Structure 1
Amino acid sequence: MEGVYSVPPGRRYWVVRADGGAYFNHFGFHGLVAVGHLDGIALPISEDLPASALDWADVYRQFMQKVDAEDGSLKQASSKYRQAARFATEIQLGDWVLTVTTNAVRIGVVTGDAYLSRKAIELMGLSEEPIAMPFLLRRPVEWGPTIQKDQLSSPLLRALRANQTIFNADALWDDICHALFPVFSRNEDFYFTVKIATAHKVRGIDVSNLLGFFSDLEIIGRASDVLTEYPGRFDEIFDELEASDRLTLTTEAEYHSPGEIWGLISSGIGQGFGVGGIFVLAYSMLFGNSKLGFDGVIDIETRRKLWDLVIERMKYRRVKKAVDRLDAQAPNRDVERLISHDVSSDSVENGIGNEGRSRSIED
């Protein structure tokens, strides 16, 4: 299905913050991320040096010697060493990295190995004097979208408040993807995201109708062969699927204004059209997303029948009214720079572009 992003299951996710976000714009403008953990160590850097060329045992000894000389904290020195080593050796090509400032997060993809450099990284400040980013240990990054923090889920926001300079965010991969994509898949599971943008109180009936509609879509997807021929059997088929425990839709939501709804359908992606295809159809109808489609997946007549089924359930659930009152929207981020670095060319079915490798950023 065109436009359904397939998340590589082996990809890792990292958060790197530097001086509380002081160099957020340096990172974005210069296409890198950096930490200052090795800045106080005597290192043989006359020109750019791959981090792999460092004698990390010697680096560790210098950290310990510095503790003794300055009567410092052994715990802090060990932590700084581990974080520097993690930055240089654990983060891999193709991993996604998040960096934060006071009110925003920027998401990028690691495009090269760690290195050390004394070359100046500068940006002009308000005083028209260049502000230098001094950190030596760096990695090249292709930056994708910048997202305001008030548009992120609560679990992701809580994680971003952590004090560590570098930490792994693999457990939040789905929160990160929900912030970026209207629909996506991982292995055979299908995920979708709806943003509730209204500034008014959220009516329970609107949320109930929208969630009921999503359940209807799963039923149509799992029994599309029967329902395209016998649409009047919808209630009967619902009873059968529910009784046999074959309905797998689960949702999480934040119903404040604004808020979000996240959905997961286990085994929603498989052979043929399936549940994912029905959600693609419904999303293109509700939100007019031109990147979502299924041309060539099913014949025109079957498509028309499915279209009629979806419209019937939309009317029954009063979905148009619910979407309008909730100001429900699909995420619309420019993710081309992120996904263009995926290892597999099949990561986006029928290819949402492999362009946009420039170092410019979206503000």
Structure 2
Amino acid sequence: MYIQDIPKDKKFWVVRSGDAGMFYEHFIHNAVVAIGHIDEVDYNEEILKDPDEVLKLVYNYKNNLLEKKETLASASNKAGQVLRFINEMSIGDIVITLDAKRIAVGVVTSDAFKDTKHITLINADSSTSDTLLKFSLRRSVDWGKTQFRNQLPLAINNSFRANQTVFSANEHWKELNHWLSVAFISDGDAYISSRIEQKEGIHNLDIAQYAIIINKIEAIAETLVRNQEHNFSEEELLEVFEETYKKLRKSRTFTVTTQQVFLSPGDLWAKTSGERTKSLIVICAFLLMFDIEPSFADQHDKVFIEAHRESISVMLEKVKDDESFTDVKKGLALKVPAQKLSKKVSASNSSQKKADDDCEPDDFEAI
């Protein structure tokens, strides 16, 4: 699993694919998002490249709506969506589109452009679909694979309640990043996500022990950060670890905070604070506990973890044994969700298949 730093100013956008998501497949199979708001307005590529000209374009569009007797609120809303699509959305931003049952996440790969060529689809029987996407204002997107919306965490689905065609989802930054990246660093803090799949009643002891395990993972990181210059034997390392854990517990200085987004099944998200080195160890220890091999955006991170991997493993095995991690994992049906954001943006899937052929459950690889 890929470990990366995600800035808190990373932008998220939702662009709806027409009424009731009727152009969802047009978006996905043709690697675009598009809106039709200004189709009847005279504009060109040169205008789209000049922010001042874009403001004039949006102003004229708004006035056209008012002349057609739209309310000021409605005209302002639609004009704002156009402005966001052209001037506020940027290459590298995350974009989401959805219909009633499906959702896809992608990365914006182009500035806004005008294209009046209609987009169609090829049906499973090789015939051409009668439904044409005519929206002329577009951006190119590298899409990941489709996921079913009913498998999303509730907090994610709640972020899509706005009725606009184009809107920012930045207020749900934490929830979206937990869903997309699973384990990541932001402003030096570590964020980790796990999934509880148990459909029966959850035993309180398992939840309590899992919380202790997460605390002990932070203690592993604290042990290494505080003693980087020491070369302990395995026995000495475990003694220092136990002492560090006891001190953190006694002083109540653990930084772990959790957000439980479940009854059952559901999600449990955790965050630890501190210097970046500590956060890197927390994430790697968490992944290794689930036998997931970490990979790194930064080569220095890889070198650092390789230098401390044996020590992490020694302490981690102690934690797993003391807290019966195998039993906890089984009792909660614990897993780490698949990562939806990876270090490389995957090529868009240009093949055109039946709608449900693209859908995969929770463990899919995406952008």
TM-score range, shorter chain: 0.7 to 0.9
- The CA distance in 2 between the partners of 1:89 and 1:327, in whole Å, is 45
Q: 1:233 to 1:258 in 2, by over 3 A?
A: same
Of the three residues 227, 238, 248, the one matched with 1:231 is 238
> Relative to structure 2, which stretch is displaced further, 101-110 or 288-297?
288-297
What do residues 158-188 of structure 1 show as CA deviations (whole Å, max 9, x unaligned)? 1212211111111222212211233111121
Q: 1:329 to 1:81 in 2, by over 3 A?
A: same
Q: Which residue of 1 aligns with 2:365?
A: none
- The CA distance in 2 between the partners of 1:103 and 1:55, in whole Å, is 35
**Deviation for aligned residue 1:14:** 0.9
Q: Which residue of 1 aligns with 2:292?
A: 289
- The CA distance in 2 between the partners of 1:277 and 1:121, in whole Å, is 48
- The CA distance in 2 between the partners of 1:299 and 1:358, in whole Å, is 34
**Deviation for aligned residue 1:92:** 0.9
- The CA distance in 2 between the partners of 1:58 and 1:335, in whole Å, is 35
> Relative to structure 2, which stretch is displaced further, 24-33 or 234-243?
234-243
- The CA distance in 1 between the partners of 2:57 and 2:176, in whole Å, is 37
SS at 1:232's partner residue?
helix
- The CA distance in 1 between the partners of 2:93 and 2:181, in whole Å, is 17
Q: Residues 153-192 of structure 1: matches in 2 within 5 Å?
A: 153-192=153-192
SS at 1:167's partner residue?
strand
SS at 1:218's partner residue?
helix
Gaps of 5+ in 1: 342-355
Q: Which residue of 2 aligns with 1:323?
A: 329
What do residues 264-313 of structure 1 show as CA deviations (whole Å, max 9, x unaligned)? 0112522xxx3532441342232x2234487642567x643432221121
- The CA distance in 1 between the partners of 2:55 and 2:187, in whole Å, is 37
Of the three residues 247, 264, 267, the one matched with 1:260 is 267
Q: What amino acid maps onto 1:251 in structure 2?
A: T
Of the three residues 218, 225, 240, the one matched with 2:247 is 240
Computed over aligned residues only, the root mean square deviation of the Cα atoms, in angstroms, reads 2.8
Q: Which residue of 2 aligns with 1:120?
A: 118
Q: Is 1:50–1:114's contact at 8 Å kept on the other side of the alignment? A: no
Q: Is 1:50–1:113's contact at 8 Å kept on the other side of the alignment? A: no
- What is the number of residues matched between the two proteins? 337
Q: 1:64 to 1:238 in 2, by over 3 A?
A: same
- The CA distance in 2 between the partners of 1:169 and 1:244, in whole Å, is 38
**Deviation for aligned residue 1:197:** 1.7
Q: 1:233 to 1:61 in 2, by over 3 A?
A: closer
Q: 1:57 to 1:240 in 2, by over 3 A?
A: same
Q: Is 2:2–2:295's contact at 8 Å kept on the other side of the alignment? A: yes
Q: Is 2:197–2:332's contact at 8 Å kept on the other side of the alignment? A: yes
- The CA distance in 1 between the partners of 2:169 and 2:151, in whole Å, is 18
**Deviation for aligned residue 1:209:** 1.0
Q: Is 1:145–1:333's contact at 8 Å kept on the other side of the alignment? A: no
Matched-pair identity in %: 25
Q: 1:245 to 1:121 in 2, by over 3 A?
A: same
SS at 1:160's partner residue?
coil
Q: 1:308 to 1:62 in 2, by over 3 A?
A: closer
Q: 1:123 to 1:103 in 2, by over 3 A?
A: same
Q: What amino acid maps onto 2:84 in structure 1?
A: R
Q: What amino acid maps onto 1:163 in structure 2?
A: N
Q: 1:255 to 1:76 in 2, by over 3 A?
A: closer
Q: 1:309 to 1:58 in 2, by over 3 A?
A: closer
- The CA distance in 2 between the partners of 1:78 and 1:243, in whole Å, is 56
Q: Which residue of 2 aligns with 1:73?
A: 71
Give the alignment's TM-score, normalised by structure 2: 0.82
> Relative to structure 2, which stretch is displaced further, 190-199 or 149-158?
149-158
**Deviation for aligned residue 1:136:** 1.4
Q: What amino acid maps onto 1:13 in structure 2?
A: F
Q: What amino acid maps onto 2:304 in structure 1?
A: V
Q: Which residue of 2 aligns with 1:251?
A: 258
What do residues 294-342 of structure 1 show as CA deviations (whole Å, max 9, x unaligned)? 7642567x64343222112112211111112222111214534xx436x
- The CA distance in 2 between the partners of 1:277 and 1:201, in whole Å, is 33
- The CA distance in 1 between the partners of 2:338 and 2:311, in whole Å, is 29
SS at 1:108's partner residue?
strand
Q: Is 2:193–2:268's contact at 8 Å kept on the other side of the alignment? A: yes
Give the alignment's TM-score, normalised by structure 1: 0.82
- The CA distance in 1 between the partners of 2:305 and 2:173, in whole Å, is 31
Q: Is 1:145–1:334's contact at 8 Å kept on the other side of the alignment? A: no
